[in-house]
Structure 1
Amino acid sequence: MSSSPGVVVVVGAVVGVFVGLLGTSGAIMIPVMIYVFGLTQLRAQGTSLFIALLPIWAFPLVPYARAGNVEWKLGLLLAAGVAVGGYLGGHWAQELPVGIVRKGFAVVLAAVAVRLFLQR
């Protein structure tokens, strides 16, 4: 990564606005890391997971929690499942050809985008 720390923080802040507005991170952060900072697919995914590990997502959570827009029990149960499944998926991602991982990521993003676009 050859960008200055200030540029990286500004890009992070722009992504953070989208996280707060849209409630998503990886779908935005991973393409930014690939196309803006030149990371590989797997390095971008690993870095995105590192970012998610940090408690920074607590900040955009606060307005949602104050407005009563968080299902705490469901979130905790889903988080437990994501922890187990994420470990397995992370392991498999290291074994698969990077082209397969990249195409899988693209298919998931496209499918979600089409569903959201067509939803009433």
Structure 2
Amino acid sequence: MSVGTIVALIITGLLAGMLSGLVGVGGGIIMVPMMVFVLGFSQHQAQGTSLAVLVVPVTALAVMNYYKEGYINWKYAAVIALFFVVGSYFGSKIAVNIDQKMLKKVFSIILVAIGTKMFFDK
């Protein structure tokens, strides 16, 4: 692993972590594009690696801060987490069987749709 790659990985992790703690995003919006455009990963590799990062409790400290301030609804989080596991299983099964070019298009459409909705929502 070159120094440039290590620096790119560090920047990717810091940006994703900061945005995760700040606004609850990071994996799809920061890590995946950085891995594709900066590190030269395929879309499949970037998505899989982003998910692997999230396997460990990377958000534990951010969750602790939100918990201390009373901003976590544990019941809702538990239900979402349970179905997140189910959804991610089936989503990944679909993704690994889609051509990379199509997967990039789907990824881009979702980012634009969400970004547009959030930008224009009042």
Mapped contact 2:21–2:62 kept (Cα < 8 A): yes
Matching of residue 19 in structure 1 with residue 20 in structure 2:
yes
Superposition CA RMSD, Å? 1.6
Task: State the 4+ residue runs in structure 1 displaced beyond 6 angstroms.
Answer: none
How many residues were matched structurally? 120
User: Which one of the candidate residues 53, 57, 60 is aligned to 2:59?
Assistant: 57
TM-score (norm 1): 0.90
1:100 and 1:10 mapped to 2: Cα distance?
Answer: 28
2:8 and 2:102 mapped to 1: Cα distance?
Answer: 31
Deviations 1:1-48 (A, max 9, x none): 643435522442233212211211222111111112111111000000
1:95 and 1:7 mapped to 2: Cα distance?
Answer: 28
2:9 and 2:113 mapped to 1: Cα distance?
Answer: 29
Task: Give the residue type in structure 1 aligned to 2:87.
Answer: G
TM-score (norm 2): 0.88
1:28 and 1:6 mapped to 2: Cα distance?
Answer: 15
Deviations 1:67-86 (A, max 9, x none): 11111111110111111111
Task: Give the residue type in structure 2 aligned to 1:92.
Answer: I
In the alignment, what sits opposite 1:88? 90
In the alignment, what sits opposite 1:29? 31
SS of equivalent to 2:36: helix
SS of equivalent to 1:115: helix
In the alignment, what sits opposite 1:73? 75
In the alignment, what sits opposite 2:6? 5
